[in-house]
Amino acid sequence: MNTRISLSFALVGSLLLGACSSGNNEVESTMAKKITPPALIDRAVLFGNPSRFQGRVSPDGNKMSFRAPLDGVMNLWVGDKGNFDSVKAITKDTGRGIPSHFWSKDSNYIFYIQDQNGDENWHLYSVELATGKTTDLTPHANTQAQFLGQSKDMPGIIIAGMNDRDPRWHDIYKVDLASGERTLLQQNEGYAGFVLDNELNVRLAAKTLANADMEWFKKDGEQFTSFLSVPYSDMRTTQILKFDNDNSGVYMLDSRGRNTAALSHMDLASGKLTVLASDDKVDISSILFDPDNHTPVAYSVDFIKPEWVAIDDGYKDDINTLNSQLSGGAQILAQSNDNNYWTVYTDNSNSSPIYKVYDRTTKTLTDMFVTNPKLNEVSLAKMYGVVIKSRDDKDLVSYLTLPLESDMNQDGKPEAKVPMVMLVHGGPWGRDIYGYSPVVQWLANRGYAVLQVNFRSSTGFGKEFTNAGDKQWGKAMHTDLIDAKNWAVKQGVTDANTVAIMGGSYGGYATLAGLTFTPDEFSCGVDIVGPSNLQTLLSSIPPYWTSFRQVFVNAIGDPDTDEGLALLKERSPLTYVDEINKPLLIAQGANDPRVKQAESDQIVDAMKARDIPVTYVLFPDEGHGFQKPENNLAFYAVAEAFLAKCQNGRVQPIGDDFDNSSIQITHGAEFVPGVPSTSVNE
């Protein structure tokens, strides 16, 4: 199996016409375009459904599956490997579509997950390929399911977590695929998570302590006994991955006693720890395991671009072949049971991503499919990795994308200044990576440079960098963005007064922080599901995040102390709403369980009470971000018109991009040119 490491706990102005006009005049007088820009790329090409996505080869190596539109909705399709004439849809969803799927080890079932309108109460479904029967394996109201494991030696069952007994804790069940019946294996009494051995037994459990340290326990009979303590400083960069072949030890990522997370093996009886792979600059990010003997055979590291490294000599030719044929990003997503076929996702920044199949017997890499062939018919911009120094000498791994008219030599060195958008990632325990992004290409095509910054608190660059963001929301995490902005100005990418800020989740918070804490640094902001009040954010976290609440408290502030409350108020954009003097667009999903609608409502209401202009877009059938392509098209149509007004970029008319969308513009539609009156719901 390929283990892709993710340590992210996603919480991831005054629209004065004079200010906007002044900004536009400045843009026109300082941004000289040397060449005619490329044709506008239709938003439907960028934000509509791809032709196919999420390709997988079945574990027996005979079939393939993928997500693709059926009557405009992303559904699951299955056929013979390499034969698209044989494929047929095995689901017929008519709502938000199916976001993710995977195979049973015996290749008899397809599993997929789905929630309702973004509420994140994920249910786990199976489709029996022989009969077409679809079964909800977790048919309980207001329940979130977690898939925990399966084994090719134990066909017909899976292990899943479900929190229907107590929304805070996921109990562990064995589920029979034929009948859907479940059998309780472990009632969860306050554990953050469990690890199964290769025989699907519950063997290990983790618990977050009151000080946010992580304690690991071994199951002896019916009792759990402590065997490993992970201090808070390491808990976001240390985790147990899986058991070894004889179930006597575990493979883990471990940053204890070092900065970056190393791939290690721990013998459970003796506690002996052996480091198998490490890198001084970055954490180990993805690991490829042999499906038969459960040993790690290769890993990847990702500083600016991912690079695969073989551990097992028997895999060196395979890894060298992959690295030699891939110029961008590459993820090994799935393996056949005999390990002869690998499903590989390949990703260059300026072309459509491609799913490929690597055949280990012939050492060949062939296309499974291009995800969006229409992208290869338009002009896309290149992404460049850059390292920017923060004011306290930290390396901020960042990505700069220039519009083609400012990158004539295709070298990442601007030929002419253009307006810029700082695009801030969510989390904040996540990171920006190299590769194709529809949002980045949309912005670049409209004439904006795009800068993505891995500010402190971002993951993947060692625990010291991640931990440096603790208690720094709106402070050092924000000054990293300002330092990156100043770098871009110094490099001649843009001018200081033509930089917008935009992002979702934490990136939405950063947008609000930019317009309140530093109101003169950015020309305007686009906030997508961003928290405005850190106190209410912490008081309304989902119940299933109870085990990690203290981690958030340590990182943001403690609402149970006077000092912590003062800190949360100080770092909340809502506190400084009077400082907003630049245009602001806010977008929210009504069903968001992480950053609740109240976070956007609060700051919009405060701005309305002070007669500070703001545009507020609400989607009643979305959650933490927007999944339906119709809603994405509608939102980016509004955002494009909004940015064009304050940044003077190019704009495609909204046209029919609101068709079939649930979009409601509940306030401030008059501040966005071209908004249809039918969408206004003030």
Q: What is the pLDDT of residue 36?
A: 83
CA nearest to 178, candidates 113, 108, 101: 108
Contact indicator for 142, 121 with CB cutoff of 8 Å: yes
Residue the block writes with tokens 């506190």: 575
Tell me the Cα Rg of the chain: 25
The pLDDT of residue 446 is above 60: yes
From residue 351, give the alpha-carbon distance in Å to each of 46, 302, 441.
12, 20, 10
The structure's pTM equals 0.93
In terms of DSSP bridges, do strands 296-302 and 306-310 run parallel, antiparallel, or are they unpaired? antiparallel
The DSSP letter of residue 117 is T
Alpha-carbon dihedral sign for residues 600, 602, 605, 610: negative
From residue 382, give the alpha-carbon distance in Å to each of 17, 145, 413, 451, 453.
34, 39, 11, 12, 16
Q: What is the pLDDT of residue 6?
A: 33
| Amino acid found at 268 | L
In terms of DSSP bridges, do strands 341-347 and 420-424 run parallel, antiparallel, or are they unpaired? unpaired
379-496 homologous superfamily: Alpha/Beta hydrolase fold, catalytic domain (3.40.50.1820)
Q: What is the pLDDT of residues 618-664, one digit of tens each?
A: 999 999 999 999 999 999 999 999 999 999 999 999 999 999 999 99
CA-CA distance, 221 to 61, in Å (whole number)?
A: 39
Backbone angles phi, psi at 108, to 5 degrees: -95, -15
Q: Which of 25-39, 134-148, 225-239, 656-670 has the lowest mean pLDDT?
A: 25-39
From residue 464, give the alpha-carbon distance in Å to each of 237, 258, 640.
10, 10, 38
Encoded tokens for 648: 């003077």
What band does 678 get if pLDDT is binned at 50, 70 and 90? low
| Amino acid found at 120 | E
Encoded tokens for 165: 């007994």
Contact indicator for 632, 8 with CB cutoff of 8 Å: no
Q: What is the pLDDT of residues 457-486, one digit of tens each?
A: 999 999 999 999 999 999 999 999 999 999
In terms of DSSP bridges, do strands 88-89 and 73-80 run parallel, antiparallel, or are they unpaired? antiparallel
The pLDDT of residue 71 is above 50: yes
Average per-residue pLDDT in the chain? 92
Contact indicator for 621, 568 with CB cutoff of 8 Å: no
Residues linked to residue 386 through DSSP beta bridges, in sequence order: 398
Contact indicator for 489, 496 with CB cutoff of 8 Å: yes
Encoded tokens for 16: 């004065």
CA-CA distance, 544 to 531, in Å (whole number)?
A: 19
Q: What is the pLDDT of residues 568-612, one digit of tens each?
A: 999 999 999 999 999 999 999 999 999 999 999 999 999 999 999
CA nearest to 175, candidates 148, 198, 195, 153: 148
From residue 540, give the alpha-carbon distance in Å to each of 596, 598, 600.
8, 10, 14
The pLDDT of residue 25 is above 80: no
CA-CA distance, 682 to 661, in Å (whole number)?
A: 17
What band does 434 get if pLDDT is binned at 50, 70 and 90? very high
Residues linked to residue 63 through DSSP beta bridges, in sequence order: 80
> What positions carry a catalytic annotation?
505, 592, 624
The DSSP letter of residue 70 is E
The pLDDT of residue 19 is above 90: no
DSSP 418-486: --EEEEE-SSSS----SS--HHHHHHHHTT-EEEEE--TT-SSS-HHHHHTTTT-TTTHHHHHHHHHHH
Q: What is the pLDDT of residue 5?
A: 38
Q: What is the pLDDT of residue 28?
A: 38
Contacts of 46 (CB under 8 A, 6+ apart): 438, 441, 442, 636
